[in-house]
């Protein structure tokens, strides 16, 4: 079984610590692949390590800047980590790349808690003008 198959097997079994070890090995071999960083973020999120997950997703996003799915996972991880300072900075950055991110956030029931915050309303106003 190769490394990718090994990672997938652990992920399918929800053995996140083992999957994380394998994905770290994959990243060591080929750090330029955005999917590997994304998968690392998934493992970390599943382990409740949301700030670290956001960092991994940011690495993925740096390599695939327009993938809105990655943007969503960064926002979600920062929210789950209660890292609101970085969350609103990233939302502003993300909307600068793709203003549709605002609609994605507003439509997500999990995000209703923060879309009424002044920081979000300010960003919303900025990109809806």
Percent of the chain whose pLDDT exceeds 70? 99
What does the pLDDT read at residue 60? Answer: 98
Q: What is the pLDDT of residues 49-88, one digit of tens each?
A: 999 999 999 999 999 999 999 999 999 999 999 999 999 9
Which pair of tokens denotes residue 44? 């970390």
With residue 43 as reference, give the H or E element that holds it: helix 34-46
Domains of the chain: 3-128 (1.25.40.10)
Run of H or E including 3: helix 3-12
């Amino acid at each position: 079984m190769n490394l990718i198959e090994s990672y997938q097997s652990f992920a399918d079994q929800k053995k996140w610590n083992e999957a994380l070890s394998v994905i770290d090995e994959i990243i060591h071999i080929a750090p330029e692949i955005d999917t590997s960083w994304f998968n690392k973020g998934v493992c970390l999120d599943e382990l409740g390590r949301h700030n670290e997950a956001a960092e991994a997703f940011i690495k993925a996003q740096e390599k695939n800047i327009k993938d809105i799915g990655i943007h969503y996972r960064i926002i979600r991880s920062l929210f789950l980590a209660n890292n609101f300072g970085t969350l609103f900075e990233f939302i502003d950055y993300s909307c600068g790349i793709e203003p549709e991110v605002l609609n994605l956030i507003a439509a997500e029931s999990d995000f209703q808690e923060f879309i009424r915050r002044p920081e979000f309303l300010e960003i919303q106003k900025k990109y809806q003008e």
